Structure 1
Amino acid sequence: MKGSKAGRHLRARDTIARWIALTTIVAMLTSLGFNALFTQLAGVWAYPPLTETGLLEKVSLLSKLIEASHVEQREHLAAAASDSNLNISWHASREELEVPTVPDAISRTTTPQVQRLFNAPKRRLEAYQPSEWPQQNGHYTLLVQLMDGSWLMFSLSSRSWGLGQWQRDLILVVLVLLSTGLVTLIATRRLARPLQQFAQGARRFGVDFRAPPIEPVGPQEIRQAILAFNAMQAQLQHFINDRTQMLAAISHDLRTPLTRMRLRGEFIEDLEQQQRLFRDVDEMQAMINTSLEFFRDDARLEQATPFDLAELLHTLIDDYRDQSIDITFSGPPHLVFFGRPLGLKRVITNLLDNATKYACDPAVELRGDDEQVTILVLDRGPGIPVENHEQVFAPFFRLETSRNKSTGGVGLGLSAARAIVLEQGGALTLNTRKTGGLEVRVVLPVLKGEAVGQRNN
C-alpha cells in the first residue's frame, strides 16, 4: 500500500511544467560543466601558467643545486640536468640571453608560491609565453637570476595543440550547443513518445471501432488526457453497441406489421387497390430497410485490415460491366491499403450508382502516396448545383423530389458514404467539373506504420 501511494505521488509530480524546468536547469548545468572542463583543459594543457605546470618545485631545486656548485661546473651541471622536456642552460650575464622584450615578464612571477620557492624578491625572475617569441617557436621560458648575478634559463616545450582565443570561444560555443541539444533531445523524446502513442491510438480508434484502449504513459497531463480519451472511447463503444441492439429490435418490430398488412392485402378483391397497397408496403419496406441500414451500418464496425484497393475497384467495375455499364479506370494495377474493405466498397458502390443513374460516362481514378489515398468518381451530366454540394449530404435530402424508388432513393446514399469515409479519418467532397459533370473526391489518410504499397505484376 505504501509503495502504491509513493508511486502515485511520483506520477503526480511528473508534469510537463516540471520536465521543462528540469530540462532548462540540466541544460544550463551541463553547459557550465563543459565550459569549466574545457577552460581547465585549455588553461592547463594548451597555455598552462607556470604555477600549474608542476615543474616549479623541480626548477627551484635545480636552481639551488647549480647555485651551490662552483662557477666552472655550472654550465656542465645545467646540461646534465636537462632532459627531453626541460632544457637548462647557464649564462654568466644577462646580455648572453636572447629573449624578447615583454613588459610583464617579471610581474608573472610575483605569486606567493614563486616567491616562496625562489626566495624572491632577492632573486629576479622573468617568465615568457610561447606566443611572445619572434619565431613563435612554442616553448615556455623561465629566467632565474643567481646571487652572483649569473642566470639560469629553463625552457619547457608547449603542448602541440595550443589554441588561440577565437578557437577557444568557438569550441565553447560548440560544446554548449552540443550539451544543450543532447539534454533537450532526451527530454523532448521523453515528452514526445507518449504524445505519438496517444495520436496513433486516436487514429487507430478512428479506423477500428474495436481498437483497445491506449496505455496511459508519460507526464501527468498526457496521462490524464489519455485516460479521458479511453473513457470517451469506452462510452462510444457502449453507446454504439446499445444502439445496434435497439435498431435490431426496431427492425423486427417494424417488419412485423408490414408483413401483416401484406397478408391482409391478399384478401382484397379489388386487384387495383390490392396492387396499390402492395406498392405502398414495398416502398415502406424499402425505406425502413434503407434507414435501418444507414443508422445501424454494420460496415462501420468492420475490422480494419490491409487489402488491395485497386483490385477492389476493378471488381466493382467488372460487376457493372456485367450489367452492360462501361466504367473507365485510371490508376495503378495494385495498391495495398489499410482500412475497411466492405465499408469502402459500399461508398464506391453508392457513388457509382449515382453516376450511372443520373449521368453518363462514369469513370474512376485512383492515386496514392505515403500520406494519403485519393479516389475520384467522375461523370458527365447535369451535376449538382454548387449551393447544394453540402446540403446533399444531409440525411433524407433529395434533389429529385418524388418518392418513386425507380427514380431515386430515400436520400441516405451520400450521407452513408460520407459517414463511412469520415469514420476512417478521410473526407468526401463534391466538385463541379469544368467540362461538365460531377467529381466526387474521396481522400483517405495512410496511418503511420501502415504504408501504402504498389505491386507490379
Structure 2
Amino acid sequence: MKRLWPNSLVGQLLLVVALILLLAQGINSFLLYRGAQNQNLVEASTSAVSRIAYGLERQASDRPVSRRDPMRPRRWGQLRYSAESPVTDDMRRLPELEARAGQAFANMGIGFADIRATLRGDLTSDMTGHVIGTGRNERRKNPINRSMGGGPETSETKGFIIISAQQDDGQWVSIASAVRERSPLLVRTLIFQTVTIYLLMLIPLILLGRYISRPLKSLTATAQSFRPGTTEALEEQGPPDTRELIRAFNDMSGRVTRMIEEKDVMLGAIGHDLRTPLAALRVRVENVEDEVERERMVAGIEEMNNMLEDILSLARLGRSTEQSDPVDIRSLIETVVDEFSDLGRDVRYQRGEKQIAAVRETLVRRALRNLVGNATLYGTVADISVEKSGSSLLIHVDDDGPGIPEERIDAMFEPFLRGDASRNRATGGSGLGLTLARAIARDHGGDIILKNREKGGLRATLILPLG
C-alpha cells in the first residue's frame, strides 16, 4: 500500500480526490442503475394497467360475447379471465407496483377487490398468450435518450410483470407485460459522465497543485543546502500562505547569518586575546630552571592551545572557506598513519582500491586523526579499513581497548565528555575529539558511528558520501 501512496503533496491530493470521486461516482451509478431498473418495472406495469383498463372497456361495450366463453377467439396479448389469480402466494409480491396500479385504476374509475403484482423471469404456462410487449423485436425510442444525444436502442426482455386484479364477482383479470432492459445506454452514459467529471476536476487540481508545490520544492531545496551568508533570498511566489512562508524563511536566514557573523567576530577576538597571553606565558616558562616543572608548564600551555583550537574549529564548522575537492581517500589515510607512526603509535592500514570522494581534505584529515588518536590512546593498536556501501564510503577505525558501555555510546559525542574521567593527558584529551569529528562528518553529509566489537575493543566508523 505504501508503494501506491505518492510522496509528493500534489500526488497525495490528486489520489485522495480521485478516490473520493470514484466512490461518489460509484454510489451515483448504483443509484442510477437502481432507478433505471425501477423505471423499467414501472413502465411495464403501466402498460399492463392500461391494457387491463382498455380490455375491460371493450368488454363492457361488447356485451353479446361472454368473457367466460372458451370458444371466444383469442388474440395475442388479450386479458386472461380465471377463477384463480396466476399470482400465487408462493410468489414474491411487489407492494409498490400494486399500490401504483390500484391508484391508477381508481383514477380511471375502475374498482377492484384485490390487486396483485409480481416479477417473473419467465412466463408460466397459464399466462402464455396473455402477454404484451413481445414478439415484435421493436427498437424503443425513448425521448430521454434522444434528448441526451442517444439514438434508438435495441432492448432485451429481462422478465415479465404480471398484474392480476379481482373483480367484484370474484373473477380475476390478468395480463403480463415484458420488462425491457436499457442498461447499455445507461452504462455508456455513466462512463461518459465519470470521464467528464474527472477531467473537469483533476486537470484544474493538477495545475493548482503545481502552482502550490513549485515554490515549496524550491524552499525545500534551499533549506537543505542552506549555508549562512551564501544562500540568496528566495523569490516570493505561489499562494499567499506560501509567499508568507518564503518571506519568513528569508527573514530567518538573514537573522541566522547575522548571528553567525557576530559569533565569528567574537570567536576571532577570543582566539586573539587568548593566544597572545599564552604565547607570552610560553616564553616566560622557558626561563624556569627546574626542568621537570618547566615541562609540566609547557604541557599545560600546549593543552590550553589544543583545547582552544578545538573549540574554535568546532564553532566555525559550516563557515569553512575551504572548497570540497576530489580526494583519494587512500592517500589521506596514509598521511594520518604516517603522522602517528612517527610518534611511535601502532597504526595499521592495508592499502586497498582507489576511492575518490569530494571532501574538504583538511577537515576530514582532522576528524580521522581524532578517531585514530582515541584508538591509540585507549588501546595499543589502531586498525584502519575502508568499505564501500552504496553511495557512501565507510572508514573503520578498530582498537583493542576496553570499549564503551552501550548506555554511554551516544553520550560520548557530548562536548568535554571523555571515556576516562580523569583530566590526565596520558589517559584522555579535552573531550572535544569525537564531538568535532562527528560535526565534520555531518557537515559533509555523513556521520560517525561507535560500536563495540565482538572480540573486544571499539569500532569507530567515519561515513562519507561519495556523491
Matched, 1:198 2:233: no
Question: Which amino acid is 2:205 matched to?
Answer: T
Give the direction of change, closer, same or farther, for the CA distance of 1:199–1:353 in structure 2 (3 Å limit): same
Are the counterparts in 1 of residues 409 and 450 from structure 2 also a CA contact under 8 Å? Answer: yes
Mapped to 2, the partners of 1:377 and 1:186 lie a distance apart of 53
Are the counterparts in 2 of residues 308 and 334 from structure 1 also a CA contact under 8 Å? Answer: no
Matched, 1:349 2:369: yes
- Of 205, 208, 230, which aligns to 1:210? 230
Matched, 1:177 2:177: no
**CA displacement at 1:394 relative to structure 2:** 2.0
Give the direction of change, closer, same or farther, for the CA distance of 1:441–1:258 in structure 2 (3 Å limit): closer
Bigger shift: 394-403 or 361-370? 361-370
Question: Which amino acid is 2:399 matched to?
Answer: D
- Aligned CA-pair RMSD: 4.2
- Of 394, 398, 408, which aligns to 2:414? 394
| Aligned residue in 2 for 1:259 | 279
Are the counterparts in 1 of residues 372 and 382 from structure 2 also a CA contact under 8 Å? Answer: no
**CA displacement at 1:187 relative to structure 2:** 1.8
**CA displacement at 1:225 relative to structure 2:** 2.5
Q: Deviations over 1:72-94 (max 9, x none)?
A: xxxxxxxxxxxxxxxxxxxxxxx
Q: What are the residue-to-residue correspondences of 1:147-296 with 2, within 5 Å? A: 164-205=185-226, 210-268=230-288, 271-272=289-290, 275-296=292-313
Matched, 1:129 2:147: no
Identity across aligned pairs (percent)? 27
Question: Which amino acid is 1:315 matched to?
Answer: L
Give the direction of change, closer, same or farther, for the CA distance of 1:352–1:210 in structure 2 (3 Å limit): farther
**CA displacement at 1:430 relative to structure 2:** 1.8
| Aligned residue in 2 for 1:301 | 319
Secondary structure class of the residue paired with 1:300: coil
**RCO higher in structure (CA 8 A, sep ≥6):** 1
Which stretches in structure 2 are left out of the alignment for 5+ residues? 1-8, 26-133, 158-183, 342-346
Secondary structure class of the residue paired with 1:326: strand
Give the direction of change, closer, same or farther, for the CA distance of 1:242–1:104 in structure 2 (3 Å limit): closer
**CA displacement at 1:442 relative to structure 2:** 4.1
**CA displacement at 1:320 relative to structure 2:** 0.7
Give the direction of change, closer, same or farther, for the CA distance of 1:230–1:133 in structure 2 (3 Å limit): closer
| Aligned residue in 2 for 1:146 | none
Q: Deviations over 1:330-371 (max 9, x none)?
A: 6x633444x54433332222112222333335223343545x
Give the direction of change, closer, same or farther, for the CA distance of 1:440–1:176 in structure 2 (3 Å limit): farther
Are the counterparts in 1 of residues 412 and 434 from structure 2 also a CA contact under 8 Å? Answer: yes
Q: What are the residue-to-residue correspondences of 1:2-41 with 2, within 5 Å? A: none
Q: What are the residue-to-residue correspondences of 1:72-111 with 2, within 5 Å? A: 101=136
Mapped to 2, the partners of 1:230 and 1:443 lie a distance apart of 32
Matched, 1:440 2:463: no
- Of 279, 297, 315, which aligns to 2:332? 315
Are the counterparts in 2 of residues 361 and 379 from structure 1 also a CA contact under 8 Å? Answer: yes
Secondary structure class of the residue paired with 1:440: strand
**CA displacement at 1:432 relative to structure 2:** 1.6
Are the counterparts in 2 of residues 356 and 362 from structure 1 also a CA contact under 8 Å? Answer: no
Mapped to 1, the partners of 2:373 and 2:438 lie a distance apart of 15
Q: Deviations over 1:429-451 (max 9, x none)?
A: 3222223222324456x6xxxxx
Matched, 1:334 2:358: no
Q: What are the residue-to-residue correspondences of 1:108-119 with 2, within 5 Å? A: none
Which stretches in structure 1 are left out of the alignment for 5+ residues? 1-15, 33-98, 112-127, 135-162, 447-451
Mapped to 1, the partners of 2:140 and 2:257 lie a distance apart of 85
Mapped to 2, the partners of 1:340 and 1:384 lie a distance apart of 30
Question: Which amino acid is 2:453 matched to?
Answer: R
Give the direction of change, closer, same or farther, for the CA distance of 1:247–1:303 in structure 2 (3 Å limit): closer
Q: Deviations over 1:192-241 (max 9, x none)?
A: 221111111111116x7633333333223233233323322222222222
Give the direction of change, closer, same or farther, for the CA distance of 1:209–1:369 in structure 2 (3 Å limit): farther
**CA displacement at 1:412 relative to structure 2:** 0.9
Larger C-alpha radius of gyration, 1 or 2?
2
Give the direction of change, closer, same or farther, for the CA distance of 1:349–1:182 in structure 2 (3 Å limit): farther
Are the counterparts in 1 of residues 317 and 443 from structure 2 also a CA contact under 8 Å? Answer: no
Mapped to 1, the partners of 2:278 and 2:321 lie a distance apart of 34
Matched, 1:383 2:403: yes
Are the counterparts in 1 of residues 363 and 440 from structure 2 also a CA contact under 8 Å? Answer: yes
- Of 367, 386, 393, which aligns to 2:388? 367
Are the counterparts in 2 of residues 430 and 438 from structure 1 also a CA contact under 8 Å? Answer: yes
Are the counterparts in 1 of residues 330 and 354 from structure 2 also a CA contact under 8 Å? Answer: no
Q: Deviations over 1:278-327 (max 9, x none)?
A: 53244234323423432344453225855436x13542235415754322
| Aligned residue in 2 for 1:58 | none
Are the counterparts in 2 of residues 243 and 296 from structure 1 also a CA contact under 8 Å? Answer: no
Mapped to 2, the partners of 1:204 and 1:108 lie a distance apart of 66
Matched, 1:420 2:440: yes
Question: Which amino acid is 2:437 matched to?
Answer: A
Question: Which amino acid is 1:417 matched to?
Answer: A
Give the direction of change, closer, same or farther, for the CA distance of 1:322–1:292 in structure 2 (3 Å limit): closer
Secondary structure class of the residue paired with 2:451: strand
Are the counterparts in 2 of residues 427 and 443 from structure 1 also a CA contact under 8 Å? Answer: yes
Mapped to 2, the partners of 1:179 and 1:327 lie a distance apart of 66
| Aligned residue in 1 for 2:44 | none
Structure number with higher helix proportion: 1
Mapped to 2, the partners of 1:391 and 1:106 lie a distance apart of 84
Question: Which amino acid is 2:136 matched to?
Answer: T
Give the direction of change, closer, same or farther, for the CA distance of 1:227–1:417 in structure 2 (3 Å limit): farther
Give the direction of change, closer, same or farther, for the CA distance of 1:350–1:241 in structure 2 (3 Å limit): same
